[in-house]
Amino acid sequence: MSNRIEIHETAFVTSTYRASEENISKDIYAKLWNNKKTDQWIADYAETVSRHDPFLHCLRNRYFYDKISELAKQNQIEVLINFGSGFSMYPFLLGEDLINIEIDKPDIVQYKKKRIQELQSNGQLPSREIHYIGTDFNKDYEEKLISEINAIKKDKTSFILIEGVLFFLNRDDTKRLFQLFGKIQNSGDYVGSVSYTEAIEEVSAFKKLISFFEEKVVPNERFEYQTISNSFYHNIEGYRLEDHMDCFELAAKYASHKKQMDREEVLDENMYLLKKQ
């Protein structure tokens, strides 16, 4: 087995994480992506970086699962647009009336589309309306992507989800993304986002994470990490911050029975819910 991991392979890792505690993540389908190679990466990661990551990803999944479910039931959203969708399984966890647009690198969406069709054909997954779009957020993509999304979404209400992506982008690419969101969404639509604040850089687990990536990420992959202050979300033009929770708050809400975690061992991500004005 190679001693390096490519950025796109983290999609398998995240899915395996979500499968670790289904009662918290509510993702009963994530285990369909499990494989031995990923299990080895996770064991290595837990030993060298943090043993809490599977639990934290379950919390993240649960937060957005609850938010999207609630809004869909209230008929506030009709389309879920997942930027950097990886192998997430939201379409199958949410209602069948929801239209799903999944966006990621071309090789990821091609692999996922084929695998999803296989799982549906053998009865392991229900039928859903899913549209796959391959793109690269580090290149010029806006005009073509806006056209593809609008052809599917039309004037329907939407929820844009972007989790596990911003860490790998620079600030200019991040601003471009949120400007794109503003162009395709209408007043009353929502964005769910995940990022680290600058405070994480002083945490022991984060320093280990950066060392892990520098050692394990394939050299020809573009790797630029960023942290984002809370003030960024308060100042996105055309959007209002509706909700903000970190992992410790989510743990208290969804897993109060668990032993309190040592902050130095936790890669504390922040979840944000924005509403278009």
Q: For residue 5, what pLDDT is reported?
A: 58
Here the tokens at position 120 are 């549906």
Q: For 138-173, what is each residue's pLDDT tens digit? A: 677 899 999 999 999 999 999 999 998 999 888 999
Q: For residue 219, what pLDDT is reported?
A: 55
Q: How many Å apart are CA 89 and CA 53, to the nearest integer?
A: 19
Q: For 193-246, what is each residue's pLDDT tens digit? A: 999 999 999 999 999 998 888 887 655 454 568 999 999 999 999 999 999 999
The DSSP bridge partners found for residue 137 are none
Q: For 45-102, what is each residue's pLDDT tens digit? A: 899 999 999 999 999 999 999 999 999 999 999 999 999 999 999 999 999 999 999 9
**Nearest C-alpha neighbor of 184 from the set 239, 222, 115:** 239
Q: How many Å apart are CA 250 and CA 43, to the nearest integer?
A: 24
CATH architecture of 60-201+222-276: 3-Layer(aba) Sandwich (3.40)
Tell whether the model's pLDDT for residue 8 goes beyond 70.
no
Tell whether the model's pLDDT for residue 111 goes beyond 90.
yes
Q: For residue 1, what pLDDT is reported?
A: 43
The structure's pTM equals 0.94
Range list of β-strands (E), the chain: 79-83, 99-104, 130-134, 158-162, 190-195, 239-246, 270-276
Q: How many Å apart are CA 246 and CA 266, to the nearest integer?
A: 11
Q: Where are the domains of the chain?
A: 60-201+222-276
